[in-house]
Structures are given as C-alpha cells and as structure tokens.
Amino acid sequence: VIFDSSQEASIIVAQEIAGLIKEKQSLNTPCILGLATGSSPIKVYEELVRMHKEEGLSFANVITFNLDEYYPMDKDNIQSYFYFMHEHLFNHVDILPENINIPSGTISNEELYQYCIDYETKIKSLGGLDFQLLGIGRTGHIGFNEPGSHFNSGTRSITLDHITRVDAAPAFLGIDNVPRKAITMGVGTVRSAKRIVLLGWGISKANVLKKTIEGDITPQVPATYLQEHNNTTFVLDKGASSEL
Ligand code: GLP
C-alpha cells in the first residue's frame, strides 16, 4: 500500500494496532505485539501514545517482544534499543513492565544460547505474535537478520553486515563504536506472526524494496521471505515505492 506521506501511513498502521489491542481487550486476552526500532516506526509509536493520552487506549493487556538489540549493549546506553523503546513508547503508556520483552544486550556469552531459546519459547507459550511491526535495512534485513539468514531461523546472535554498521555509525558517532554483533529474533520467528506490517519510508529504501517485493525469494535479501507470508502488508510512501 502506497501513501502520499509516512505521517498519513503511520496513523493508519497505529489504528490497526489499536484496533487489535481493543479486540483482544473485549475478549479478555493478551495482545502479543512484535515491535521494531529504527526511525521507521517512530510516528506509529507517537500516534499510539497520542491515542493513550487523548482517547484512553490502554496497554494493560499488551505483551511486547522486540525484534533485536545490539550485543553487547547496556540498557541505559542511549544507543540501546531498550532506551529507544522506553523513550518512544513504553514510558508514555500504561504497559506493565513485566510485559515488556527486549533481547538483553548484557547477557553473558555463556548464557546467550539458552537465553535465545527461552525468548523463542516465551513467544510460543503465549500463542505466538498477533502482530509484527517491521522496518527494513538497506541489506534487506528484517530485525537484524542479515543476508544469509535461514528462512526458518530462530532468535540468535548474529554478526552485523558492514553496510548495517555504516548506517548505524552516525548514531554511534563513528563506525568504530558500532557493535559488531546483535541478538535478533529469527526470520522464522517473524514469519510465525499472524499479521506482519513492514514500513518503508524514503528514497533510500527504494532499491531494497524493489528487490524485496519484485525480486526472487533469496537468503541474500531476507525480507523476500515475507513474500511467502499470507498476511503481510508493505506500507510505503512515495519515495520508498519509486522503483516499483
Ligand atoms: C536497524 C533495526 C531494524 C530496522 C533498520 C532500519 O537495523 N535493527 O529493525 O528496520 O534499522 O532502520 P530505519 O527504520 O531507521 O531505517
């Protein structure tokens, strides 16, 4: 779906998420949301915060799982995804702290493998993700599933691509400060969501979105795996769709 502006598109996406939260509330069941970081979802979170403040949208029944986190990374580091999520959403709504799940950037190397298995198990034990919000990286990554990621991969540690680190460099004040690794939900984890919405804004994403939407399914562009998902929508603005 192509919108004139990312602002307009973000409001529609936020409305869908709010509708799902309310539907689950009426059924008295938790709403399991997979959430993303980066600049793409910021306006969606802004709109959800507005709906909480002005329209009384409650997050009391919401359980969230974030896609990824740099590794290693302290929670209070302003470049952490933990910090990002609190700054843009969690600090401003009534979500219960115990319902927030973000991969830990401080888990020890020895515990990392089991930690990733447990993250995956927790999602499954809650019945899976009802909704997964995604951005896309220039490498075609979703979460931090870089080129080469298996379509069935689960939560795991991953080595970041050079392009991903170059793109993150300004936020870290230089590429040397960008972590080389991250923990990410897998492509399989993402694909198991009942509904997926991928956001793409601006001309810098046009090329990778052309490959993702019109190209062959390939591990070299992990987002192409979404072509096989039966309930995915790519929500784009004019710039991002300019090569389609
Ligand atoms: C990071 C995140 C991705 C995100 C991507 C794009 O790599 N791990 O989940 O989709 O950035 O970021 P932006 O939305 O800022 O373009």
What domains appear along the chain, each with residue ranges and CATH number? 2-237 (3.40.50.1360)
CB crowding 23-35: b at 16 or more within 10 Å, else e: ebbeeeebbbbbb
* Residue whose CA is at the smallest distance from ligand 1 atom 9: 143
Catalytic position from the list 69, 98, 146, 243: 146
User: CA angle, corner 178, sides to 176 and 181, nearest 5?
Assistant: 120
Rounded to 5 degrees, φ, ψ at 66 are: -80, 150
Q: Evaluate the CA torsion angle 170, 156, 13, 63 in order and state its sign.
A: negative
Ligand 1 pocket test target in 37, 39, 79, 85 with most atoms within 8 Å of CB: 37
How does DSSP classify residue 178? S
Other beta carbons within 10 angstroms of residue 179's beta carbon come to 16
- b/e burial code for range 44-75 (CB count within 10 A of at least 16 → b): bbbbbbebbeeeebebebbbbbbbbbbbbbee
At 101 the pLDDT is 99
Q: Is the CB of 137 under 6 A from ligand 1?
A: yes
- Ligand 1 binding pocket includes 212 (Cβ within 6 Å): no
Q: Which atom of ligand 1 is nearest to the CA of 164?
A: 7
Residues 86 and 202: their CA atoms lie apart, in Å, by 25
pLDDT at 185: 98
The ipTM (two decimal places) reads 0.96
User: Which residue's CA is the closest to the ligand 1 atom numbered 11?
Assistant: 38
pLDDT of res. 209? 98
Q: What is the pLDDT of residue 187?
A: 98
- Spans of the chain, pLDDT less than 70: none
Predicted local confidence at residue 202, as pLDDT: 98
Distance (Å) from CA 128 to ligand 1 centroid:
22
